[in-house]
Structure 1
């Protein structure tokens, strides 16, 4: 099932994508879905970020090849950091390049996990019970500021630096999915989630030992090698097998 958040002239709703249409559901997508009876052609709606999380928890250096391209060795334990909810944008929305503050903004295509219910201290064996589904993410990063600051909050926390979408796929198996990132059609990143150092169940266990996760919270699972710079005017697309594609254009920040 593909759960999307969308807008029409009538307002914002959640819905289930079925081929070329979207069937609206009442209220939120957590728990049993209640359909309103409204159905819209997918071409006539605007897809939004599929969820507005209370927090985005991201995992650094979770592919060995990316850890090495960043000049380090793969970490023994997950490296976690947070991105603010204000960084979240949806498919088709613009990534705003903060040219006055940064000279190097990179793409980082990732698989994102969407939490389906409040939980804490979840054993890895029960992680599937608390996951609503999966979506595509781009952990946009001001690389020069990351190096300058020595920590990652500013570099990864700008408004628009967390594109999510196009929807939440509830039936994907995250164990071995192809993931790629293209910029203007050129492949920059290409890997599989089977190469994650810490897989999805272990990440849910690790993060939920630290903090309570709420419905709609997002865990970014890490990016493979091939991260690289974006320029104003670029279109960057993250594609994940059995999930979907997320495209965003880069514009100059006002």
Structure 2
């Protein structure tokens, strides 16, 4: 089983719960419709990886940077960042046929996560950014989410059991794109304009 780190503690998520279409600008860049209700899907523990690849089984991967939370007692206790890695071509074909997304979103190695820091009550407003090769590519802000973190947690808890250590990914802002070999991905997370964490991945050769 794959693990994540919250401060110095190793946790094993049973699953990663993801929110789709949570930023208007991202919905527009993919020519999607704004959904009437929250879009949710799962990634299994086997999707978690420490190695960022540009492709999986011959399919090109696209990055989506997301604000993430760790669960304990059905509440958020830690915060970090992650990349939801997507087979965009496969996903488009599945959507056109009205089929589930697992082949495009839940394959082995489809999520890579930073370490997590402890969440406090003072942390009300989060922003984050992704740089690729020192160029800012994505910026996220909880003020621009269609569903804020509290409402996401409430909605998930209404129909699904969240186990201790599970991760919730809250959706990506605009700026998604293709992962390219040898690139350096650097993410930074801020709460109330104070830097909480920085993390970096180098795209490995497949």
TM over 0.5, shorter chain? yes
Which residues in structure 2 correspond to 1:149-160 (within 5 Å)? 149-150=94-95, 151-160=100-109
The whole-number CA distance in structure 2 between the counterparts of 1:153 and 1:99 is 14
Match of 2:64 among 108, 113, 120: 108
Local SS of the residue matching 1:146 = helix
RMSD over aligned Cα atoms: 2.1
Q: Which has the higher contact order (CA 8 A, sep 6+)?
A: 2
Please name the residue that 1:236 is paired with. 185
TM-score between both structures, scaled by the size of structure 2:
0.85
Local SS of the residue matching 2:116 = strand
Find out whether 1:147 has 2:92 as its counterpart.
yes
Local SS of the residue matching 1:96 = coil
Please name the residue that 1:126 is paired with. none
Q: 1:206 to 1:194 in 2, by over 3 A?
A: same
Find out whether 1:134 has 2:79 as its counterpart.
yes
Q: 1:200 to 1:173 in 2, by over 3 A?
A: farther
Q: Residue 56 of structure 1 contacts residue 83 of structure 1 at CA under 8 Å; is this kept in 2?
A: yes
Q: Residue 53 of structure 2 contacts residue 179 of structure 2 at CA under 8 Å; is this kept in 1?
A: no
Local SS of the residue matching 2:12 = coil
Please name the residue that 1:66 is paired with. 26
Shift of 1:191: 2.8
Please name the residue that 1:250 is paired with. 203
Find out whether 1:80 has 2:36 as its counterpart.
no
Please name the residue that 1:42 is paired with. none
Structure of greater Rg: 1
Shift of 1:5: 3.3
Q: 1:197 to 1:241 in 2, by over 3 A?
A: same
Match of 1:52 among 8, 12, 22: 12
Q: Residue 63 of structure 2 contacts residue 84 of structure 2 at CA under 8 Å; is this kept in 1?
A: yes
The whole-number CA distance in structure 2 between the counterparts of 1:141 and 1:172 is 33
Unaligned runs of at least 5 residues, structure 2: none
Local SS of the residue matching 2:154 = helix
The whole-number CA distance in structure 2 between the counterparts of 1:173 and 1:139 is 27
Match of 1:224 among 147, 162, 173: 173
Q: Which runs of 4+ in 1 moved over 6 A?
A: none
Local SS of the residue matching 2:14 = coil
TM-score between both structures, scaled by the size of structure 1:
0.70
